A and B are shown apart, each in its own frame.
Chain A
Amino acid sequence: MKEIRMLSVTPILGYGFPEASLEAGMLLKPHAIGADGGSTDPGPFYLGDGKAFCSRMAMKRDLRLMLIAGLKADVPVIVSTSGGAGGEPHLQMMSEIVHEIANEENLTFKLALIHSEQDPTFIKKRVSEGRVRAASKQPALTNNAIEAAVRIVGLMGPEPYIRALDEGAQVILAGRSTDPAPWAAVAIRGGIPPAQAWYSGKMLECGSEPAVPKKEGCLLARVTPSYVELEPTNSVQKCTVLSVANFALHENPSPIHHLEPGGMLDTENCKFEQVTERVVRVSGMIWKPSDAYTIKIEGVRRTGYKAITICATRDPVLIRGIAAYLKNAQDIIAEKTTAFGVKANEYQLSIRSYGRDGVMGNREPLQDQVPHEMCFVAEVIAKTQDEANAVMGIVRLTLLHSDFPGRLCKEGNMAIPFSPSDIELGAAYEFNVYHIVEADDPYGLFPIEYQIVGEKR
């Protein structure tokens, strides 16, 4: 029976993995190796600012080992959702790192860059044609939202990867992709039906996450036309039915219906079997092709500039009346910032109260329990960084020094752990595009560019 083997090196490029796990994986003769670069999970900042989610140093370490191993074995090396968000700055940064490594290691290869940033004019056209819908429960996409977005990426399916491999790419750096897409590409190209190919991608998207105990390591999938087998290559890890089932639920709204470009993976009747002590086999998945080829798009808009401060109290009198204290503080803050020209309606202030409802907000069922100490994280978003910093200075001062009934701690109400006390966080963003667009074909939105790396040496 036909078998395609693929090695997922790490959950996200830059998270790291033991070199021995990669070496053990290469001995199992994978047909491709790869790592995901990110997703929307770390929030809107990285897509908005064009910064990488993992450090350049950590990504370069992981990628160096992958390039050397992949080129030596003559198998493709694939990085999807490059740089954490898959935008153009992320792709260019990863390309720069690849060129650096090639120079340092004296490597020569054909590199494919698959772009995923989307043209706002095209998205607007699709909106006007009624061929865009919300991916979840967001409002319908408008021209205003598209114009407000600082960057929009599309999530490519496997087809652009297949084309790049067909055209001889040995290393692929791709923009934003659905997490399973690069793996589905390698398997489908190797003759595996879409159901098993996509399922293998679901399992490979996060390194050895489907294995226990939790450690960074690599995961090998053996994919055949009837099943997917999973084996971690870190010898201290193993896949169990529970560890694989746990990962099968990862990040999807439904455990059964997984919407992907070109169709839906149905996992309702999957069977999980322990094949050896360390290997689990999953079978019974079904692929249901869709009528229209659709692409999810993600975009973020800038909401201003952010500053935060952290402080904490150990005073039982203050903690007893903390709700009233924070409300009163907000009135004082508004009055003081207005005095230097920034009115309360010109910024957003949020104070998270740890020890009460810091993690869950108004969903916290135990918010009336009285703790012995509390921590506060105050956040301000204003039009400029200067304004955010100025308002934050007043917020910190007010939390530290305001009066309250029965106050004994008259030198200050808060323990402030750092000097400087306030932290600039730069531009603030929020997701404002999370929609599904009908594409004419799987390729048009994702141009492929080729480079011969190391040719001039």
Chain B
Amino acid sequence: MTRLIDLASVCKSKNAGPFDLTIDVIFSSRALFDRVAATGILNAALFATLYKVRESDVLFTPYPAANAFKATLPRLHPAGSIDDRDVYGAQQHAPILYVDIPD
């Protein structure tokens, strides 16, 4: 098993507007992307579990053109409202880093 933190070239989160968070995982080569895609580990259900939202609220899109996966889901709180902790949404990626990818 290898964790995503050891495989990905980019793993990041950011606002997609003030109500949604978008998380991107990018690999350095098509071979690596294909290997991760073939495991089927990255999917809407995984993001729903990690971010405690309904699976139907996750827009999960593989993007082979950029060797990337993208998941967009509701923010915990709207950007800049009381209780929001991350106005830019730039530090919400950590749960993905420790996902195991079977060899």
A residues neighboring B (CB under 8 Å): 40-45, 135-138, 242, 245-246, 248-256, 267-272, 284, 298, 303, 348, 350, 352, 358-363, 365, 379, 381, 428-431, 434
Contact = CB atoms under 8 A, between A and B. Distances in A.
Contact of B9 (A242, A254, A303, A381): A242
Given A40-B15, A245-B67, A252-B22, A365 B61 contact: no
Contact of B82 (A267, A269, A348, A360): A348
B63 A256 contact: yes
Contact of B87 (A42, A252, A348, A381): A42
B14 A137 contact: no
A268 B65 contact: yes
B94 interface: yes
Which of B15, B17, B88 counts the most chain A CB atoms within 10 A? B17
B18 to A, nearest CB: 4
A246 B73 CA distance: 19
Contacts of A350: 82-83
12 contacts: A40-B79, A136-B17, A137-B74, A245-B67, A250-B14, A253-B20, A255-B24, A255-B63, A269-B65, A271-B65, A361-B76, A365-B95
Contacts of A348: 82
Given A43-B79, A256-B63, A365-B50, A245 B20 contact: no
A271 B63 CA distance: 11
Nearest to B89: A41
Nearest to B91: A359
A377 B56 CA distance: 33
Contacts of A358: 85
Contacts of B41: none
Contact of A267 (B17, B57, B65): B65
A243 B50 CA distance: 27
B17 to A, nearest CB: 6
A285 to B, nearest CB: 10
Contacts of A270: 65-66
A361 B82 CA distance: 12
Contacts of A272: 65-66
A361 B95 CA distance: 13
Given A138-B19, A256-B61, A360 B94 contact: yes
Which of A138, A303, A360 counts the most chain B CB atoms within 10 A? A360
Contacts of A45: 80
Which of B18, B20, B83, B84 counts the most chain A CB atoms within 10 A? B18
Contacts of B88: 41-42
The 3 closest A-B pairs by CB, nearest first: A43-B80, A245-B66, A255-B63
B63 to A, nearest CB: 4
Given A249-B68, A253-B22, A431-B79, 4 more contacts: A40-B18, A255-B68, A431-B80, A431-B81
A430 B80 contact: yes
A352 B97 CA distance: 23
B98 to A, nearest CB: 8
Nearest to A48: B80
Which of B10, B63, B88 counts the most chain A CB atoms within 10 A? B63
B74 to A, nearest CB: 6
A255 B92 contact: no
B46 interface: no
Nearest to A429: B80
A212 B8 CA distance: 17
B85 to A, nearest CB: 6
Contacts of B91: 359-360
A137 to B, nearest CB: 6
Contact of A303 (B68, B82, B87): B82
A251 B10 contact: no
A344 to B, nearest CB: 14
Nearest to A360: B92
Interface string B5-36: 00001101011111110101010100000000
Nearest to A431: B18
Contacts of B72: 253-254
A270 B50 CA distance: 30
